Amino acid sequence: MDVNTVMEKRRSIRKYKEGTISKEEITEMIRAANLAPSWKNSQCPRYYVVYSEDMKEKLRTEVLLNHNPANCVNAVCYFVMTFEKGLAGFSRDGSQDNELGDAWGFYDLGLASENLLLKAEDMGYGTLVMGIRDADACRKLFAIPENEVVTAVISVGIPDIDPAMPKRKTVDEITKWF
């Protein structure tokens, strides 16, 4: 698929069919995520892949909150997305380069996450980005070090729905020209 088609087609999938995704395909998604630009090529995103049935169940019951466990039944895998502190927004000597500091890591991780989502779509898989989660439980369950910020959990699976595109704001509504 060309990039415009992939961007237009990608949706949040909240219902999956049973099925499998190979570890090789998951690795392709991570490679695509790793191609994203990052602050001074710091490559601060980190990916925790939850693939075993036991760990997927623990993630759904111990980490995901509110409606999220029901939204990802039959997901084949999950990515717990984190970024390493002190890289994006900083010079190689550790000094802060701009006022955002570690907040720049969120930007870099967002770029990487989008690449992952688009690659999954291109491969025929659906995804859902979930920010409502227990970060402390996630950190404990997956032994995530304190120098990483837990941001989101992304479910990946075989879509069992084909939702319509939500209404988007027009370019005029979101753009100012100078």
Q: How confident is the model at residue 121 (pLDDT cuts 50, 70, 90)?
A: very high
Q: What is the pLDDT of residues 4-51, one digit of tens each?
A: 999 999 999 999 999 999 999 999 999 999 999 999 999 999 999 999
Nearest to 125 by CA among 13, 28, 50: 13
Average pLDDT over residues 113-137: 97
DSSP letter assigned to residue 129: E
What residues contact 5, with CB distance under 8 A and at least 6 apart?
Answer: none
DSSP letter assigned to residue 84: E
Q: How confident is the model at residue 139 (pLDDT cuts 50, 70, 90)?
A: very high
What residues contact 106, with CB distance under 8 A and at least 6 apart?
Answer: 83, 149, 151
Top-confidence residue, 95 or 121: 121
Under 8 Å between Cβ of 138 and 80: yes
Rg over alpha carbons for the chain, rounded to the nearest Å, is 17
CA dihedral 25, 27, 29, 34 (to 10 degrees): -160
Q: What sign does the dihedral 78-139-70-167 (CA atoms) show?
A: negative
CA separation for the pair 69, 72 (Å, rounded): 6
CB atoms within 10 A of CB 134: 14
Check pLDDT > 90 for residue 75: yes
